[in-house]
Amino acid sequence: MDVLSRLEALDLRLAPLAERAVRLVGIAGAVTIEESAIADSLNASDPVEAAAAEWFRADSALAQRYVSEQSQGILDERAAAKQAIRDRLQAALEAVQEQADSIVTPTGDLRSESVSCSGAVLVRGPSIEACEGLGSRVCEAARDSTVASPFRFVSSADLLWDRQELLPWTEPGPLQASAEGQLAGAQTVGATRVGNVVVSVSFNPMIRAREELSPEELAAFDSIDAALGIESTHPDITFAPGLAIQVNLANALGDESNYLMHFGPSETADVFWTAEANTGSALGGTVALAPEHVARLRAGEPITLSAVRENDAGEIEGVYAIALSSVNQAGRVEALLGYMSQQLTADLTRLIRPAN
């Protein structure tokens, strides 16, 4: 509740700056295409908007002069004036960004902390207790169930387990370069939400520079690929099928000490990933899948996240388990494996040119 309340206060402070930034971007766009219709709506009391309005008027006059004189000097004058107003608008945008940064920076990790609150279902009683001294919208909604709000509440934490969202595995696309210059695509994602716990796995090629792998790791990648009929021939880069795992469990829900990701029932769990509980951060990791685990994945066998603990007798026992949705799993995984074996190396060679 504290995070949501602080986030609301931050958004309120940032709202005028966001509105200002949108306004400046709109004006800059109009300047770029020389859309003078916006001039009448510009605020004469605002120095930047007034300067833009003056530029529109002056540019219109220069355009009329050029029609009659056809002078290169007029074109140069128009270009210089246009660049000058664009530079001023850009400077104004940068000033807005600096103001926003000066507000956001002191909040530290608030934005990242708020990610775990996205879509959260809140338990009303504890929420009311946590709201003591707070007057945010979420606290008003906690105290008064008749208040219309985007927040969802339940009367007991036990009821959270009845709220499930099972998302089908996504359709994979080819590997490509993103706008930021990073590799993207070539993945299929399966996710399940139970209450406020979101478990997400991404099946994708684990792409590594050969020089960064030890001889043992390189041999492991090669053996996995060979068993699956995958050929990785890029001289500098190799890959093997793997899973990227994300679970928003920074703190234990019960008295669990560890988490296991596995195939099959807990009694005969085929474990391929483990993590400790109560780390204070969301769980995440990447693991290369053994051929037998790839076979279970492509057969559509569901993945399960189990929370476990050690009892007084030193035995491992389950606390709770979350089974991921397997809807579309088999088909999507099969399609991506086909891409890895038939096209991925060629795409890697195109996107990452060999050193020699």
Write the DSSP symbol of residue 120.
Answer: P
Quote the DSSP letter at residue 5.
H
Among positive and negative, which fits the CA dihedral 154, 156, 162, 166? positive
Q: Any residues with CB less than 8 A from the CB of 348 and at least 6 apart, and which? A: 175, 207, 234, 237, 239
CA distances, 308 to each of 33, 56, 243 (Å): 62, 68, 21
Instruction: Give the number of C-alpha atoms closer than 13 A to the C-alpha of residue 336, restricted to the C-beta side.
Output: 29
Report the SS3 class of residue 137.
Answer: helix
* pLDDT exceeds cutoff 80 at 119: no
- pTM of the prediction? 0.70
33-86: per-residue pLDDT in tens? 889 889 999 999 999 999 999 999 999 999 889 888 888 998 999 999 999 999
Instruction: Return the structure tokens found at 315.
Output: 């035995």
The pLDDT assigned to 239 comes to: 95
Query: What are 286's two structure tokens?
Result: 């990447």
Assign 97 a pLDDT band (cuts: 50, 70, 90). Answer: very high
What CA–CA distance (Å, rounded) separates 132 from 140?
Answer: 11
- pLDDT for residue 85: 94
Q: Who contacts 170 (Cβ-Cβ below 8 Å, separation ≥6)?
A: 187, 188, 189, 190, 328, 332
Range in 87-96, 109-118, 187-196 the model is least confident about: 109-118
Name the token pair of 311: 């009892």
Architecture per CATH, domain 163-351, reads as Sandwich (2.60)
Q: What integer pLDDT is reported at residue 180 of this predicted model? A: 75
Beta bridge partners of 283: 247
Q: Where are the domains of the chain?
A: 11-106, 119-159, 163-351
